[in-house]
Structure 1
Amino acid sequence: MIIDRICDSDDYRREALRLGGEQVHTQRGLDVFNPYTGKRVGTVAMASVELLQRAITIARSYRPTLSRFERAAILQRAAALLRERSAEASDLITAESGLSKMDSLYEIGRVCDVLGFGAGEVLRDDGQVFSCDLTPHGKRRKVITMREPLLGVIAAITPFNHPMNQVAHKVVPSIATNNRMVLKPSEKVPLSALYFADVLYEAGLPPAMLQVVTGDPREIGDELLTHPDVDLITFTGGVGIGKYIASKAGYRRIVLELGGNDPLIVMDDADLDKASDLAVQGSYKNSGQRCTAVKRMLVHQAVAGAFTELVVEKTRRWRYGDPADPANQMGTVINEPAARLFEVRVNEAVAQGARLLTGNARERALYAPTVLDQVRPDMAVVREETFGPVSPIITFGDVDEAIAIANGTAYGLSSGVCTNRMDVATRFAQELHVGTVNLWEVPGYRIELTPFGGIKDSGLGYKEGVQEAIKSFTNCKTFTLPW
């Protein structure tokens, strides 16, 4: 049961800005609350526009000189430190986000993977060599490519749903490429970002290469987007804010990883036990707060009844509640307003003809795993991105209809497909308008190294993942010479 908000937590943290090696406190602060207990778990400094400008100036004035070996060593050392402190770090994620200990420990493992892959990529030469005498008018020359850090500063803005891993996916490629970054983490979960930065400083990172500015995005956001010394903006978050960033950024590079409305498509030849396992895991892991969570279950009408029964049975067994209890698979969503939104959308769908099979119970930010069937594609619960533990089931009659429904939203991030027919699987791979198609896996499956990103309202087509981010965060220069 959720307790009343009565006091600060026992491990309350008062945090400062991280500016060029200094911890800068301010008179104003932002409070961070545990979504489950309601207790205040920390307060972070609120940066003014002037302090943000100071951070950008520090970054712009610094010229990193770390060798590849030194960059790799820092990232490897940070991974080792984080593994040693995984219990403490995951406790912090759980406290400020409401994610279960299962999910927060898993997140720490993913962060260590990002650090490890980043270290590995640093040690791999990323240049190419081209011969020029390939045509009758060619010359005996070579073209050598080099990747160099940006001249200006990288501005990074991260969301609440993966408080440390989303930060790692911005910060690690920046370090790997000898860039300088000013990070503004979500005001809902800033403590994990500051913790991660401190681990990197301890591992040997020069502080000017990563500064952390916390504050109200309405106050400092525009300056971060428009400052003349910012060369690149990398953002993960909602579509509305992403499009606003695009409108403000002007002539500078932007990498936008936005929302998703990902389907899990279950064909009539699927192993329904396996498919329903994927459906439930994909819907409720991380409290359903993943851009790649299963947001829509598209199920062939021939197996919809049996599949739905399995999903309901497994949903009712999904353990949720106090996120600090290691036995619980799911904690809260980020806050009470988010939980209320899910409740409203589910009630609206039921009023429009959907059938509630289990769930839709809410206590403050705690929202029960929820299953709906008889859902139509035009209902808001599936037309919009419902960023929580809701499993809407839509039926279809054939592959053409499944593809039409899957492609029938503004989003195009990821998808999962459950079929044993390779001709059907390849049709989905070719015809779904998404960045990823996973056969017999949840839409969100990937490793931290591989390309990740979407199209349409899910992003501009630029990819995240360590390798692709390294490309985005660098300028490619060619050097030619006689050969």
Structure 2
Amino acid sequence: MDVRTFWLAGRPATGDVELTVTNPHDGREVGRYSVPTDAQVEEAIAAAHAVAKQAAALPIHVRAEALAHVSRRIAERADEIAHLITAENGKPITWARGEVNRAISTFRFAAEETRRFSGEVQRLDTEAAAAGRLAYVTRVPYGPVLAITPFNFPLNLVAHKVAPAIAVGAPVIVKPAPATPLSSLVLGEILAETDLPAGMFSVLPIENERASALVDDPRLPIVSFTGSAPVGYAIADQIPRKHVTLELGGNAAAVVLADADLDWAAQRIALFSNYQAGQSCIAVQRVIVERPVYDAFVDKLLPAVSALVTGDPLDEKTQVGPLVSEAAAERVDVWIQEAVAAGARVLAGGIREGATIAPTVLADVPDDAKVVREEVFGPVMILEPVESVDEAYAMVNDSRYGLQAGVFTRSLDSAFKANRELEVGGVIIGDVPSYRADQMPYGGVKDSGIGREGLHSAMEDYTYEKVMVLTGLSL
């Protein structure tokens, strides 16, 4: 099997060590990749630092066309990349295709946003003392971006860091998850086809324990991390003077109010508690249902969960595949068994086979169970009946996380109340919290992180405002 090169300052390179990626479903080897040496990591950082001024000065059309090229090439290689995602990550091919399509859009949106991200002009003569003065306000990149990405969306979550960096003219160094580096290496291959200057990007598949040196390096003033809260906050504590953006996950709640369309809610919650095997920061974990419709909702939900197809990720019919590793599945299984031992009832699933957990529904779960308080990151949902809208929203907020929440209701009053009261970064009315449009602001509050993704929002996070005042003008 060929060994994939990594990308060092825009060119392919190999190191002294090779590592293997295996398929979570059946354990077969799906690829090998070369790991950069410490000297090569230093070379990538030095190149990003050296090219930073040139990158910031790149004409807008050059940046925009590079991003558009990446979008087109991902589209042309869509089937190949989708199968690669399924092989290294284990997600069913239908979800892998969805991820590829989202990455195509993410780079296209970035190309479009690049052409709009051109500053603004303010007349300052709103006061007599500023007569004849005009302010030209632009945004300037802080400098090279270190992008640390997770395994669950090995292409599109890389895209959400790389695309805005290129859009604002910032070099970017990607450190992909060790379990799923192959998709990002293909992205590096496509980026190498553009006219971006050498040093503008590197993809360095190094071990997690070696990332600390990258995080510390003062030549990388922006660190954008997606992953677990303990690791994210450890990074923030390590570099208090750097600009850090963190997307740290959650335990997303879906609220079903008495006026909801129960059939729609049941179908959507069943699917999006279990899509990506629950390995999504906004997969449905807590389901909060008003008491008058609780029994009717459960009667619709359980058949919808049972109907989900679990199996080989390459089967077009499969909706729920394995977790990223057997160790991950074992951890989820332990959390389920702990909840059951504490009094929870298993209404569906609760069975592990290797790296696969059957879609699981729990009821009567104690409030202090891990499956309530923490991020399960597996195909598990808990049901919680409530007496009122106020109690439902209070229960959503009773979490250290606050990424997104879904509210199934036909009431505008309930919708706007949710928007006022829910302590989350996004409120999705009439659908699951798992909904995300790649151009919209995306991020959380509390322990769900700092900063926002979504192209325009991330571009602002990677830049600072700079003002030039022109004096003595006839306005």
Q: TM-score range by the shorter chain?
A: over 0.9
Aligned mate of 2:124, from 124, 132, 139: 132
Q: Quote the Cα distance in structure 1 between the aligned partners of 2:366 and 2:290.
A: 14
Aligned mate of 1:148, from 131, 140, 145: 140
Equivalent residues in 2 for 1:156-305 (5 A)? Answer: 156-218=147-209, 220-305=210-295
Match of residue 18 from structure 2: 29
Q: Quote the Cα distance in structure 2 between the aligned partners of 1:166 and 1:207.
A: 23
Q: Quote the Cα distance in structure 2 between the aligned partners of 1:13 and 1:401.
A: 57
Secondary structure, aligned partner of 1:183: strand
Whether 1:44 and 2:36 are equivalent positions in the alignment is no
1:174-216 CA-partner distances (Å, limit 9, x unpaired): 1111110111000010000001111121244334211011111
Match of residue 14 from structure 1: 3
Match of residue 112 from structure 1: 104
Contact 1:30/1:215, CA 8 A, preserved across alignment: no
Secondary structure, aligned partner of 2:448: coil
Q: Quote the Cα distance in structure 1 between the aligned partners of 2:2 and 2:305.
A: 36
* Cα distance, 1:137 vs structure 2: 3.3
Q: Quote the Cα distance in structure 2 between the aligned partners of 1:148 and 1:435.
A: 26
* Cα distance, 1:24 vs structure 2: 2.2
* Structure 1 unmatched runs, 5+: 1-11
* Structure 2 unmatched runs, 5+: none
Deviates more, 1:38-47 or 1:436-445: 38-47
Instruction: Provide the TM-score with structure 2 as the length reference.
Output: 0.96
Q: Quote the Cα distance in structure 1 between the aligned partners of 2:71 and 2:423.
A: 36
* Cα distance, 1:250 vs structure 2: 2.8
Secondary structure, aligned partner of 1:319: coil
**Which amino acid is the alignment partner of residue 455 of structure 1?**
V
* Cα distance, 1:136 vs structure 2: 4.2
Whether 1:59 and 2:48 are equivalent positions in the alignment is yes
Match of residue 68 from structure 2: 76
Secondary structure, aligned partner of 1:294: coil
**Which amino acid is the alignment partner of residue 350 of structure 1?**
V
Contact 1:32/1:43, CA 8 A, preserved across alignment: yes
Match of residue 319 from structure 1: 309
* Cα distance, 1:42 vs structure 2: 1.6
Deviates more, 1:29-38 or 1:64-73: 64-73
Q: Quote the Cα distance in structure 2 between the aligned partners of 1:13 and 1:358.
A: 43
Contact 2:3/2:18, CA 8 A, preserved across alignment: no
Match of residue 347 from structure 1: 337
Deviates more, 1:273-282 or 1:165-174: 273-282
**Which amino acid is the alignment partner of residue 238 of structure 2?**
K
Match of residue 93 from structure 1: 85
* Cα distance, 1:320 vs structure 2: 1.4
Contact 2:21/2:31, CA 8 A, preserved across alignment: yes
Q: Percent identity?
A: 37
Contact 2:271/2:308, CA 8 A, preserved across alignment: no
Match of residue 417 from structure 1: 407
Match of residue 121 from structure 1: 113
Q: Quote the Cα distance in structure 1 between the aligned partners of 2:441 and 2:173.
A: 23
1:80-102 CA-partner distances (Å, limit 9, x unpaired): 11111111000000000000000
Instruction: Provide the TM-score with structure 1 as the length reference.
Output: 0.94
Deviates more, 1:340-349 or 1:40-49: 40-49
